[in-house]
Amino acid sequence: MDRRSFIVGTGASVALGAARVAQAAESSSGDIVIGQSAVLSGPLAPSVLVMQGGSRLAFDEVNAQGGIAERKIRLVSLDDTLDSAKAQANYKTLVQQHNALACFLGVGAAPTLGGLAPLRDSGTPLVGATAVSDSVREKSEGVAFYTRASQGREVEALLQQISTVGLTRIGFAWIRSPGGAEVLAQLKKAAQKFKIEVISEVAVAPDASDVEAAGKAMAAQPVQAVIVYHTAAPGAAFVKTVLANGGAPSFYALSIFAGDVAAKLLGEQARGIAVSQVTPYPWDNANTDSIRYRQAAEKAKVPLGYQSYEGYIAARVLVDAMRQCGGELSRARLRTALGKLKTRVATLDIDFGTNRSNTGTQFIELVQARSDGRFVR
């Protein structure tokens, strides 16, 4: 059945009633459905699809071993185009019609906020959402479980590095969204702590339709460094535009920049861009999880890098929590298992029990991009 058929049938599914939906979601037979609402089309989609590909590596690995309690995991993904109303509708469809046990890898503050009501009402946990502002993390307490450090932590790490190398005048390019505006406010507040002046700030539309104007405006300012808060393709286009218009600052970026993807778009212009990473180094030859991930990615032709590795790790965390439930999988038992979960995946320690706002890790590492899409630690 295609997505259009599912949408047509949504009204009938809702009419089944909450009790019947819950019973279907928590049945002990059939596939374990994991739902995803995310931006799967347009210029923001490539990075998200790479991350999704990484998660499928972990799910496929589990399914090849017999699944969870002899049930296979099936990921059902719907496109919300980064729109809050569409995300809310998608989450309703996922929990009511597809009977998802959990939802997974949502993207963006507004879609996450839009999805909170149907997720909370149905008791469905959301695991591994990305690019979610810290204020929305707080509002999603008890529903969402984050497998990456907060954006506030990333901002501080970048500013600390900029301060360490003696730079004092910076610019900030941010995705035009409520989440981007929040990161801007965090940046300005943290900059005071490090005695750094934010002398230029430009907002870039999610589809990069105004990137030329934004890049020219930044190039005209006497900034020593620019921090980029945007996804790979629009972020790379912004860097190119700044350089093409005579700007020559050092570039820094938050992890949503997907430096490995952006580096391939920028080529030699990527050299030296510093990116805060919330996922351990994917090319670590001393870690068995990293080796397993790379072998699976190469076999499945999933791009190697931080984005797909983050998806892989988030899926592994969800799998660990499902296994804690034993043979009786239910939304309630899974939420309880997640709330108590302490696990280690690929050198990343996850602990949801003692961290604020259900953020399971504070890990941050700064790396520099290479033109081949890999990094120098």
Domain enclosing residue 312, as ranges = 3-148+286-358
3-state class (DSSP) for residue 325: coil
Q: For residues 236 and 347, state if they share a domain.
A: no
Q: For residues 133 and 155, state if they share a domain.
A: no
Write the CATH number for 66. 3.40.50.2300
Classify residue 136: in a domain, yes or no.
yes
Query: Can you tell me the distance from the alpha carbon of 46 to that of 14, in angstroms, rounded to the nearest whole number?
Result: 33
- The highest-confidence range among 83-97, 326-340, 346-360, by mean pLDDT, is 83-97
Residues 6 or more apart from 224 whose CB is under 8 A from it?
167, 168, 169, 170, 249, 250
Percent of the chain whose pLDDT exceeds 70 = 90
Label residues 59-91 b or e (16+ Cβ within 10 Å = b).
bbbbbeeebbeebebbbbbbbbebbbebbbbbb
Write down the pLDDT at residue 23. Answer: 46
308, two tokens: 């797909």
Which of 277, 296, 322 represents a domain boundary (last residue)? 277
Q: For residues 254 and 326, state if they share a domain.
A: no
Q: Is the pLDDT of residue 16 over 50?
A: no
What's the pLDDT tens digit per position in 160-200? 999 999 999 999 999 998 888 999 999 999 999 999 999 99
Mean pLDDT of 145-169: 95
Confidence of residue 357 (pLDDT cuts 50, 70, 90): low
Q: Is the pLDDT of residue 153 over 50?
A: yes
Q: For residues 16 and 117, state if they share a domain.
A: yes
Query: Can you tell me the distance from the alpha carbon of 292 to that of 276, in angstroms, rounded to the nearest whole number?
Result: 24
Write down the pLDDT at residue 356. Answer: 57
| Rounded (10°) angle between helices 45-64 and 306-324 | 40
Q: For residues 248 and 324, state if they share a domain.
A: no
What's the pLDDT tens digit per position in 304-349? 988 899 999 999 999 999 999 987 899 999 999 999 999 999 999 9
Which of 277, 306, 338 represents a domain boundary (last residue)? 277
Compute the mean pLDDT over every residue in the chain, rounded to the nearest whole number.
89
Confidence of residue 5 (pLDDT cuts 50, 70, 90): very low
Q: For residues 63 and 209, state if they share a domain.
A: no
Write down the pLDDT at residue 10. Answer: 39
Q: For residues 302 and 345, state if they share a domain.
A: yes
Element (H, E) at 196: none
Q: For residues 331 and 244, state if they share a domain.
A: no
Q: Contact 190/137 with Cβ under 8 angstroms?
A: no
Q: Contact 47/260 with Cβ under 8 angstroms?
A: no
Q: Is the pLDDT of residue 376 over 70?
A: yes
Write down the pLDDT at residue 370. Answer: 73
Write down the pLDDT at residue 156. Answer: 95
Q: Tell me the C-alpha to C-alpha distance, in Å, between residue 30 and each of 27, 36, 99.
A: 8, 19, 11
- Would you tell me how many other CB atoms lie within 10 Å of the CB of residue 93? 23
Write down the pLDDT at residue 311. Answer: 97
Write down the pLDDT at residue 155. Answer: 96
3-state class (DSSP) for residue 227: strand
Mean pLDDT of 254-271: 82
Q: Is the pLDDT of residue 119 over 70?
A: yes
Q: For residues 271 and 290, state if they share a domain.
A: no
**Strand 348-351 with 342-345, pairing:** antiparallel
Among 101-115, 282-296, 355-369, where is mean pLDDT lowest? 355-369
Classify residue 261: in a domain, yes or no.
yes
Classify residue 57: in a domain, yes or no.
yes
Query: Can you tell me the distance from the alpha carbon of 106 to that of 121, in angstroms, rounded to the nearest whole number?
Result: 18
Beginning with the edge strand found earlier in the chain, give each strand of the sheet holding 197-204 in spatial order: 197-204, 169-175, 225-229, 250-253, 274-277, 365-369, 375-376
Classify residue 184: in a domain, yes or no.
yes
Q: Is the pLDDT of residue 368 over 90?
A: no
- Please tell me the total count of domains within the chain: 2
Mean pLDDT of 44-49: 86
Q: For residues 9 and 142, state if they share a domain.
A: yes
Q: Is the pLDDT of residue 374 over 80?
A: no
Q: Is the pLDDT of residue 3 over 80?
A: no
Q: For residues 144 and 197, state if they share a domain.
A: no
Classify residue 366: in a domain, yes or no.
no
**Which of 306 and 88 is assigned the larger pLDDT?**
88
Residues 6 or more apart from 370 whose CB is under 8 A from it?
263, 270, 271, 376
**Which of 235 and 369 is assigned the larger pLDDT?**
235
Q: For residues 341 and 260, state if they share a domain.
A: no
